Amino acid sequence: MRTLAANFKTPYSSRSMRLKIVFLFVLFALIFNPFTVKSEDTEKAADSTNIRAEIKQDILHHLQDAHDFHLLTDESTGTHYGFPLPVILWDDGLKMFMSSKFHHGEEVAEVNGNYYALYHKHIYKTDADGTLNYDENHHVTNAKPLDFSITKSVFSVIVVSIIIFFLFKALGDGYKNSAIPRGVGKFLEPLVLFVRDEIAIPNIGEKHYQKYMSYLLTVFVFIWFINLTGLTPLGINVTGNIAVTFALALMTFIITQVSGRGYYWKHIFWMPGVPVPMKIILAPIELLGVIIKPFALMIRLYANISAGHIVLMSLVGLLFIFNNWFARGAFLGLTLFLSIIELLVAFLQAYIFTMLTALYFGFAVEEHDEHQ
């Protein structure tokens, strides 16, 4: 972060600065990738099927949220490196404890006479021995308390939000002294202008765009930054959680419906310019479209980020399956290439989400005379 901050201050043109930051991220991701550290010694000992199973497990675990911030595991000694996060449960009253109580799922946590076990990253209510009951499909049938834990994703969201807040507050504060952005603002102001001039105004129109700017800017910056953290070697995967994208899409959905004007609703329930039978057929389709639009937003972001993580991790995993320098070199190159593609995807998905959100807002506030 310090090198980044130093970079922000140098008075380069924004394009070269952006390139530099992209480069830094790639370098960062390549040097500190945990898999390179982790599998160095396991590779010789384990056979290839073991490695395959392990890689698959790793990827699946990575995609899921976790109750502690796991960085890496030393297989030879069995020690995990990382830090625990607070677990908050609602189960006849608030129960709070640190996730270190689970000892990475190996022990049962006891709070006020209630016992909880961590199984496949979900918390279940158990007895003192941690007995889990399964149904015929091997699903756990134990009761699940409402889990409001500060998980790895929640923790990441908090950290990224704080970083975003201070970065953009610096931009806002910079204008108190001068009309030109200073320091970090030189890099951030083009982002704000980009959202305003390329996303908000073209899709919503000069007349109404202003009241949506705060939401659009926050969504754009949040998704972009959180996507970028997913490309760091910390193994964070926030936008690859359906709950996160659902929350974002839901907000877009609510704002769209709340700002919907007469023309918008008329287009849904009584499509102008078509015969009456068509109007009746179109109404349910249009109504379905109202739901499908934010649903597509949700799935698009989730799927893109998840897929990116799966592909990148699989490629890194392939480096350890092939015991051949030529193949490894090829896969290293491919991983590097895909890392760069993922950087683009991180931005692109933030852009698409914001752009479509603005487009839906534009539909909602559209007035009849603008439609001609």
Partner 1 sequence: MEKLISEFSVGLFFWQTFLFLVLLFLLRKYAWKPTLMAVNRREKSIEEALESAELARKELKKLQNSNSALLQEARDEREQLLKEAKAMKNEIIAEAKTKAQEEAEKVLIAAREEIKIEKSKAIAALKTQVADFSFQIAEKLLTEKLSDKDKQSATVTTALNEINFN
Please name every residue paired with 80 in a beta bridge, in sequence order, or none if there are none.
73
Q: Rounded to whole angstroms, how far apart are CA atoms 121 and 109?
A: 14
The residue among 216 and 345 lying less far from partner 1, judged by its C-beta, is: 216
Stretch that binds partner 1, among 171-179, 278-286, 323-331, 355-363 (CB under 8 A): 171-179
Residues 45-84 that bind partner 1 (CB under 8 A): 64-65
Check: CB of residue 149 under 8 Å from CB of residue 88: yes
Give the pair of three-digit tokens for residue 26: 């790639």
Q: Within 10 Å of residue 185's Cβ, how many Cβ atoms?
A: 21
The residue among 88 and 338 lying less far from partner 1, judged by its C-beta, is: 88
The residue among 29 and 244 lying less far from partner 1, judged by its C-beta, is: 244
Q: Taking CB under 8 A as the rule, does residue 246 contact partner 1?
A: yes
Give the pair of three-digit tokens for residue 98: 């640190």
The least distance separating partner 1 from the CB of residue 309, rounded to whole angstroms, comes to 14
Check: CB of residue 328 under 8 Å from CB of residue 169: no
The residue among 9 and 169 lying less far from partner 1, judged by its C-beta, is: 169
Q: Rounded to whole angstroms, how far apart are CA atoms 214 and 118?
A: 39
| One character per residue 205-234, x = contact with partner 1 (rule: CB under 8 A) | -----x--xxx-xx--xx------------
Q: Taking CB under 8 A as the rule, does residue 192 contact partner 1?
A: yes
Give the pair of three-digit tokens for residue 297: 């937003």
CA atoms within 13 A on the CB side of 122: 13
In the list 118, 171, 297, 301, the residue contacting partner 1 (rule: CB under 8 A) is 171
The residue among 151 and 335 lying less far from partner 1, judged by its C-beta, is: 151
Q: What is the DSSP string of 188-232?
A: HHHHHHHIIIIIIHHHH-TTTGGGGHHHHHHHHHHHHHHHHHTTS
The residue among 36 and 161 lying less far from partner 1, judged by its C-beta, is: 161
Q: Give the interface with partner 1 as residue ranges (CB under 8 A).
A: 64-65, 88, 146-151, 153-154, 157-158, 161, 164-165, 168-169, 171-173, 175-176, 179-180, 189, 192-193, 196, 210, 213-215, 217-218, 221-222, 241-244, 246-248, 250-251
